[in-house]
Amino acid sequence: MKIAIIGATGLVGSKIISLCEKYFSHEVEYSLFASKNSAGKKIKVSDTEYDVIELCDENIGHYDIALFSAGGERSKIFATKFIENGSYVVDNSSSFRLEENVPLVVYGINQDEISSNTKLISNPNCTTMGLVMALKPLHDLFELESIVPVAYQAVSGSGTAALNSLEKEISLGEQLTPQYEDGYYTNPIAKNVIPLAGSLTDNGYSDEEMKFVNESRKILKIHDLIVEPSNARVGVVTGHGTFCSATFKNVVDIERAKSSINGFDGTEYWDSPLPTPLDVEGREEVLVSRLREGLSSNKILNFWVVSDNLLKGAALNAVQIAKYISTL
């Protein structure tokens, strides 16, 4: 089997490489693609050293699976070219997520939408991914009608440049002021919370918030799901956390809800200690906690969910999909 990893030198790409070593045999042959600036670097995968290849037309060959994590523009240009050369493409960008004939897949929820004829599969947004992993077992029990998610997104979700900016801001110590303008974001992120993640759209919501709306509906197949999202960026390296208030058609039961989360592959319920971004860094599981019945209705569940945005939120889900494709 031949696997191409596009964006191999990035944050998510490096995680994909580590997970491929875990999920696939050492007999797999890899091709590692990145920008022209990274071409020629050497990366070891499963004890074999590979040269990083520049992503360009002349370097594209036949691969069984191509895992894209190189940004939306590169996905738009190159995904179809890999498909034309016989690859299944799993894309981490937002470029194809809402296209009607492209499955938006969370492994553990809807991987059965992939068939041998499905050549392009989209990976959902990292924040949406963690939330729907908690919502799916609850929906199966009580029938979901609406959600009010409030997300706290880590800096690594914005990439290496944002992490470098966070590190620089931390190093400034007391010299860092609210007026600091040399950071990655519109405001300093170190020791701070910015009440906006992503870019504002015409309706006043950010593109990150609208991903909650559109992607949750598509993944869970609840096309009339009511979603009222708010997303903030926090000065945390890794781990997106979301408080969610979910309303269901049927009366909820806390103990049944906890059991369903613990019985759902890829999620765990923690009563104590309360899971935080530090707890999920490097973990494959999505962690849920603080499950409470609503104060105003016995059809409401309020809870906290947190996951490693670089793993289940991106690289892990892509590799799980790739492993599933390899069995078709």
Nearest residue to 182 via CA among 199, 161, 200: 161
Name the token pair of 229: 């999202």
The residue from 20, 139, 240, 244 that is catalytic is: 240
Helices first, then strands: H and E counts in the chain: 8, 16
Catalytic residue flag (residue 244): no
Residue 10 tokens, joined = 């990035």
Known catalytic residue at 56? no
Q: How far is CA 179 from CA 59, 169, 182, in A?
A: 46, 12, 9
Question: CB-based contacts of 256: which residues, under 8 Å, 6+ apart?
Answer: 141
Pairing of strands 88-91, 65-68: parallel
Q: Among residues 302, 265, 307, 318, which one has the least CA distance to residue 283?
A: 307
CA atoms within 13 A on the CB side of 132: 31
Q: Of these residues, 20, 126, 139, 244, which one is catalytic?
A: 126
Six-digit token pair at 147?
């959600």
Q: How many CB atoms lie within 10 A of CB 251?
A: 10
Dihedrals phi, psi of 157, to nearest 5 degrees: -65, -20
Catalytic residues: 126, 240
